[in-house]
């Protein structure tokens, strides 16, 4: 059953006005007089205060961290840096290497589970309060409101012929939009290189081509998506908007119009007690950033921002009726049932369990990142060499990554075969440059009489000279001729 029809039946929105003999399909057809703006018109939403408006400001302002974080320094380097040339990710004193990239998968799972869980509980609150698209659009429309005036004035200005005033206002608005777009682009690029140097490079036109491409893409994306496409991005481009429907259920709380209380709607109650509380002022529609009339049921365009709740509450206050004609409410609550506690909701339990497993995995990974990553490969061609004195020699290639910020001196030793000789270019001392992977070769030589079998396990050990707490072991094999 289409969701709207279900809502129509549940809410009784149209049922209360059902005409004699009208079928449910006709009722449904009647109900579909709301429409989704598919780009043909610019929505000039009214801005007004309220609880959810304040909440949106607070949550949106978290994005200021995006703009400020790249400037933070930590132990002499940029605190948050995706250092692609050196294949490292710096997060304050933590350095993640490609070998630790498995943690990124867990971070992605964690983010996905957070999104799924939040959507199951409260619908598209991510869209309404945190998403960069809606937050940037909110900043852009706030500037538009300040520069060009309220929605009526903006529509008038749009329709007016081009004169000096219109040119001045539009120029000022678009300049500020472009400034935000440029800041967004430079900030994003600044997560991949030293941002102070990047600013200098941009300002002196010395930035590399890739930096210009990133900047151009972000200026274009921010300016067009937040300035012009606005809610159309949510409607046409956002994959989350497409799939969120499968994450919500009857327990999900969404902005809902209480049709039982509001209908039949009318301009004024005028002593008519049969009238509902909705005075049909349409303020809830006027403030909606996506142009939705929530009174017609939950719709695809709704980003659950709660602006209509603020608007309607202010109207209810003025007309002396209780607030909450539009409120966050689940389908079950709408039907008079109780909302079950979170711990009794299967979806929430599953999402939370996966979330906790991901967090545990990440914490384990972060607390067990070895200072040196070591791998030892036994030479295959040849497997061993018989020397002129009859001894057997094996060759190994060491790959050691020093993940610490300083160069490390390590002592190399080996055990497993009595009298085993270790031969390396620099004796038993190895110096590993910080952040570098430099392979080196090591030879082991054993007297044939000491080999009891063709394959003898050996254990390499690297011990820090200046930092004895660094100790690594690697098991390999010493190969000799078959005894047969
Ligand atoms: S209907 Fe209400 S909650 Fe939904 S997008 Fe519009 S204002 Fe926000
Ligand atoms: S703001 Fe409230 S009273 Fe006004 S039209 Fe919307 S639901 Fe009805």
Give the pLDDT confidence score for residue 37 in this predicted structure. 56
234 lines ligand 1 (CB under 6 A): no
Condensed to tens digits (0 to 9), the pLDDT of residues 217-249 reads 999 999 999 999 998 898 888 888 878 878 888
Confidence of residue 27 (pLDDT cuts 50, 70, 90): very low
Percent of the chain clearing pLDDT 70 (strictly above): 90
308 lines ligand 1 (CB under 6 A): yes
> CA-to-CA distance for 49 and 256, rounded, in angstroms?
19
Condensed to tens digits (0 to 9), the pLDDT of residues 92-123 reads 988 888 888 888 899 999 999 999 999 999 99
Choosing from 287, 322, 338, the residue where a domain stops is 338
Higher pLDDT, 274 or 374: 374
Residue whose C-alpha is closest to residue 116's, from 350, 345, 362:
350
Residues 63 and 191 in one domain: yes
Of 70-79, 291-300, 393-402, least confident by mean pLDDT is 291-300
Confidence of residue 28 (pLDDT cuts 50, 70, 90): very low
Condensed to tens digits (0 to 9), the pLDDT of residues 340-350 reads 888 889 989 99
Q: Which atom of ligand 2 is nearest to the CA of 295?
A: 7
Name the residue with tokens 């969404």: 254
Gyration radius from the chain CA atoms: 33
> CA-to-CA distance for 365 and 146, rounded, in angstroms?
48
Confidence of residue 147 (pLDDT cuts 50, 70, 90): very high
Residue in 130, 289, 300, 303 to alter for ligand 1 test, most ligand atoms within 8 A of Cβ: 303
311 lines ligand 2 (CB under 6 A): yes
Residues 202 and 266 in one domain: no
Complete DSSP assignment for 168-237: HHHHHHHHHHHHHHHHHHHHHHTTSS-HHHHHHHHHTT---HHHHHHHHHHHHHHHHIIIIITHHIIIII
Confidence of residue 30 (pLDDT cuts 50, 70, 90): very low
280 lines ligand 2 (CB under 6 A): yes
115 lines ligand 1 (CB under 6 A): no
Choosing from 222, 244, 266, the residue where a domain stops is 244
| Residue 453, in any domain of the structure | yes
Condensed to tens digits (0 to 9), the pLDDT of residues 153-195 reads 999 999 999 999 999 999 999 999 999 999 999 999 999 999 9
Q: Which atom of ligand 1 is nearest to the CA of 255?
A: 3
Choosing from 244, 275, 310, the residue where a domain stops is 244
Ranked by mean pLDDT, the top range of 11-25, 162-176, 256-270, 424-438 is 162-176
H/E run at residue 476: strand 471-479
| Residue 106, in any domain of the structure | yes
131 lines ligand 2 (CB under 6 A): no
Ligand 1 centroid from CA 234, angstroms? 13
Residue 129 per-residue DSSP state: I
Ligand 2: residue whose CA is nearest its atom 4: 281
Residues 113 and 153 in one domain: yes
> CA-to-CA distance for 289 and 308, rounded, in angstroms?
9
Ligand 2: residue whose CA is nearest its atom 6: 284
Q: Are 476 and 379 in contact (CB under 8 A)?
A: no
Give the pLDDT confidence score for residue 10 in this predicted structure. 42
Residues 224 and 98 in one domain: yes
Ligand 2: residue whose CA is nearest its atom 1: 312
Residues 69 and 145 in one domain: yes
Ligand 1 centroid from CA 49, angstroms? 14
Condensed to tens digits (0 to 9), the pLDDT of residues 349-369 reads 999 999 999 999 999 988 888
| Residue 183, in any domain of the structure | yes
Mean pLDDT across 188-204: 97
- Token reading at 87: 């294949």
> CA-to-CA distance for 201 and 209, rounded, in angstroms?
11
Mean pLDDT across 453-466: 92
Residue 126 per-residue DSSP state: I
Name the residue with tokens 């009722």: 27
Residue whose C-alpha is closest to residue 252's, from 369, 147, 170, 340:
340
Higher pLDDT, 301 or 251: 251
279 lines ligand 2 (CB under 6 A): yes
Bond prior to 425 in cis (omega within 30° of 0): no
Condensed to tens digits (0 to 9), the pLDDT of residues 391-447 reads 999 999 998 888 887 889 999 999 999 989 999 888 889 898 887 777 889 999 999
For residue 422, give every residue at least 6 positions away whose Cβ sits within 8 Å of its Cβ, in sequence order, or none.
412, 413, 414, 428, 442, 443, 444
325 lines ligand 2 (CB under 6 A): yes
What's the domain range around 310?
A: 3-33+249-338
Round the average pLDDT of the chain to a whole number and report it: 87
Buried b (16+ CB within 10 A) or exposed e, 170-202: eeebeebbeebbbebbbbbbbbbbbbeebeebb
Give the pLDDT confidence score for residue 272 in this predicted structure. 61
304 lines ligand 1 (CB under 6 A): yes
Residue in 51, 130, 306 to alter for ligand 1 test, most ligand atoms within 8 A of Cβ: 306
Residues 98 and 232 in one domain: yes
Q: Is the pLDDT of residue 215 over 50?
A: yes
Q: Are 468 and 439 in contact (CB under 8 A)?
A: no
50 lines ligand 1 (CB under 6 A): no
417 lines ligand 2 (CB under 6 A): no
Give the pLDDT confidence score for residue 269 in this predicted structure. 56
Q: Are 118 and 126 in contact (CB under 8 A)?
A: yes
Higher pLDDT, 14 or 305: 305
Confidence of residue 143 (pLDDT cuts 50, 70, 90): very high
Q: Is the pLDDT of residue 76 over 90?
A: no
Residues 128 and 222 in one domain: yes
Ligand 2: residue whose CA is nearest its atom 2: 312
Sign, Cα dihedral of 199, 205, 207, 210: positive
Task: Please tell me the pTM assigned to this model.
Answer: 0.78
278 lines ligand 2 (CB under 6 A): yes
Give the CATH number of the domain where residue 412 resides.
2.60.40.10
């Amino acid at each position: 059953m289409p969701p709207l029809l279900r809502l129509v039946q549940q809410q009784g929105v149209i049922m209360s006005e059902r005409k004699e003999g009208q079928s449910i399909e006709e009722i449904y057809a009647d109900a579909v007089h709301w429409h989704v703006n598919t780009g043909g018109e610019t929505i000039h939403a009214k801005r007004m205060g309220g609880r959810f408006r304040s909440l949106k400001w607070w949550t949106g302002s978290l994005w200021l961290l995006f703009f400020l974080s790249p400037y933070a320094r930590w132990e002499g380097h940029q605190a948050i840096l995706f250092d692609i040339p050196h294949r490292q990710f710096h997060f304050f004193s933590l350095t993640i290497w490609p070998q630790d990239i498995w943690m990124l998968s867990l971070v992605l799972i964690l983010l996905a589970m957070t999104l799924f869980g939040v959507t199951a509980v409260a619908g598209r609150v991510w869209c309404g309060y945190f998403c960069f698209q809606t937050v940037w659009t909110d900043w852009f429309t706030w500037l538009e409101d300040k520069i060009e005036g309220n929605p009526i004035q903006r529509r008038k200005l749009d329709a007016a012929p081009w004169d000096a005033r219109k040119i001045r206002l539009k120029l000022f608005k678009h300049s500020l939009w472009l400034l935000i777009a440029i800041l967004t682009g430079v900030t994003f690029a600044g997560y991949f290189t030293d941002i102070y140097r990047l600013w200098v490079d941009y300002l002196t036109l010395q930035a590399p081509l890739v930096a210009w491409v990133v900047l151009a893409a972000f200026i274009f994306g921010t300016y067009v998506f937040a300035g012009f496409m606005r809610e159309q991005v949510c409607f046409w481009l956002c994959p989350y908007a497409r799939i969120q429907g499968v994450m919500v259920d009857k327990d999900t709380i969404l902005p809902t119009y209480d049709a039982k209380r509001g209908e039949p709607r009318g301009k004024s109650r005028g002593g008519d007690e049969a009238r509902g509380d909705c005075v049909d002022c349409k303020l809830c529609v006027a403030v909606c950033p996506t142009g939705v009339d929530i009174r017609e049921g939950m719709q695809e365009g709704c980003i659950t921002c709660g602006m209509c709740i603020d608007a309607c509450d202010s109207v209810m206050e003025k007309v002396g009726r209780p607030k909450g004609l539009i409120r966050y409410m689940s389908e079950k609550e709408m039907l008079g049932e109780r909302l079950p506690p979170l711990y009794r909701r299967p979806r929430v339990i599953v999402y939370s369990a996966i979330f906790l497993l991901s967090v545990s995995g990440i914490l384990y990974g972060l607390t067990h990142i070895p200072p040196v990553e070591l791998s030892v490969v036994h030479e295959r061609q040849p497997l061993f060499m018989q020397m002129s004195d009859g001894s057997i020699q094996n060759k190994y290639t060491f790959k050691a990554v020093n993940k610490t910020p300083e160069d490390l001196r390590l002592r190399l030793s080996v055990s497993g075969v009595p009298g085993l000789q270790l031969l390396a270019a620099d004796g038993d001392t190895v110096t590993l440059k910080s952040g570098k992977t430099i392979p080196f070769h090591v030879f082991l030589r054993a007297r044939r009489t000491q080999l009891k079998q063709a394959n003898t396990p050996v254990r390499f050990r690297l011990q820090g000279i200046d930092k004895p707490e660094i100790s690594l072991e690697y098991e390999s094999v010493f190969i000799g001729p078959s005894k047969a």
